[in-house]
């Protein structure tokens, strides 16, 4: 036993240096600076957004009741109908004014300046009607109204030089020729 006290202990694997031994302990990797700071910033940003949301909810008004909304909607619809009526009235009054300013232009005041050089021209003008387009009118409804046949919408379009029937505008004047045979 004395031998162990005087002689150094020899490892089983032979002589090695301290670096060769695995003690089962790894040094922790050094931390990257700023890693924890990023998560801190994310947490602060989330808290600010939550705070802003709560402030917004607490200061927001109650909004408009359903009853008030429906009343406003009904008033808007009534106002739009009244606007359409007034536009049609304006167009009718303009047509009447044109007829009074130009009495020789025909019965309907359609703006055609026929001098009446021939009897046939005068007869064609007297049979020709002028229609002022109102809100919601289409060539089909106008053809149905004057001819009793909605399929004559193409005839009306051709006579009035309309290539696209969707371009009818409120107040536009259309000539309504006699019904084709």
CATH number, domain with residue 127: 3.10.350.10
Tracing tokens 């998560």 back to the chain, one arrives at 39
62 in a domain, yes or no? no
What's the pLDDT score for residue 103?
66
Residue 126 dihedral angles phi and psi, to the nearest 5°: -70, -30
34 in a domain, yes or no? no
136 in a domain, yes or no? yes
What's the pLDDT score for residue 78?
94
Strand partners of residue 131: 174
What's the pLDDT score for residue 72?
94
Compute the distance between CA of residue 168 and CA of residue 138 in angstroms, rounded to an integer: 7
96 in a domain, yes or no? yes
For the chain, residues with pLDDT lower than 70 are 1-6, 8-26, 28, 30-36, 103-126
107 in a domain, yes or no? yes
What's the pLDDT score for residue 71?
94
pLDDT tens digit string along 23-56? 666 676 766 666 667 778 899 999 999 999 999 8
What's the pLDDT score for residue 10?
65
90 in a domain, yes or no? yes
11 in a domain, yes or no? no
Number of domains within the chain: 1
What's the pLDDT score for residue 77?
94
Contact between 160 and 175 under an 8 Å Cβ cutoff? The reply is yes
What's the pLDDT score for residue 75?
95
Structural domain range at position 111: 70-176
With 0.75 as the threshold, say if the pTM is over it.
no
159 in a domain, yes or no? yes
Please give the structure tokens belonging to residue 114. 């026929």
């Amino acid at each position: 036993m004395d031998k162990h006290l005087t002689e150094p202990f020899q490892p089983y694997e032979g002589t090695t240096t301290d670096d060769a031994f695995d003690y089962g302990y790894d040094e922790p990797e050094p931390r990257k600076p700023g890693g924890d700071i990023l998560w801190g910033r994310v947490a602060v940003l989330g808290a600010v957004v939550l705070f802003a949301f709560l402030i917004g909810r607490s200061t927001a008004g109650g909004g408009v009741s359903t009853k008030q909304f429906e009343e406003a909607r009904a008033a808007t619809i009534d106002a739009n109908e009244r606007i359409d009526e007034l536009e049609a009235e304006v167009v009718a009054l303009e047509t009447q004014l044109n007829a009074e300013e130009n009495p020789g232009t025909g019965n309907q005041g359609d703006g055609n300046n026929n001098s009446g050089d021939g009897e046939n021209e005068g007869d064609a003008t007297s049979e020709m009607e002028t229609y002022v387009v109102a809100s919601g009118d289409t060539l089909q409804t106008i053809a149905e109204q004057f001819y009793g046949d909605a399929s004559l919408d193409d005839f009306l379009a051709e006579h009035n030089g309309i290539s696209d029937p969707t371009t009818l505008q409120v107040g536009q004047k259309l000539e309504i020729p006699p019904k084709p045979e």
